[in-house]
Structure 1
Amino acid sequence: MKTWFCVTSSFDDRGRVTAGITSTIQAEEKPESGYTETKTKDIYTDWFGTEAEARKFVEEAKLA
């Protein structure tokens, strides 16, 4: 089993961005990433194989 790290990022209509590691899961295969669109923002869930990769993605998303 491998630990996968989920990063949830949110981009609102005003240009504000939030991102963070929101979950971990033990699985053989990487979970599928997802996307949800609401009236005022877009929300993404992305999965990473290491915590370091997830943290790097969080920091890059915050700079978007």
Structure 2
Amino acid sequence: MSKAKAKAKQVKGKIKESAGSAMDDKRMQAEGSAEQMGGKAEEMASKAADKMKRDTRKP
């Protein structure tokens, strides 16, 4: 997954978490939080893959 898609997933999760908080919906808050964490993990994996690509090109 690209870094942009991962960031979009984080934003979607934040919106969902905020909506859950506004409506006092604990399940929606938890889903939003989980979505944010998933996006962060995907972003970190993408960054690691990019770093590996850069490092393997160096002599």
What is the TM-score normalised by the length of structure 1? Answer: 0.27
Larger Rg: 2
More helix by share: 2
More strand by share: 1
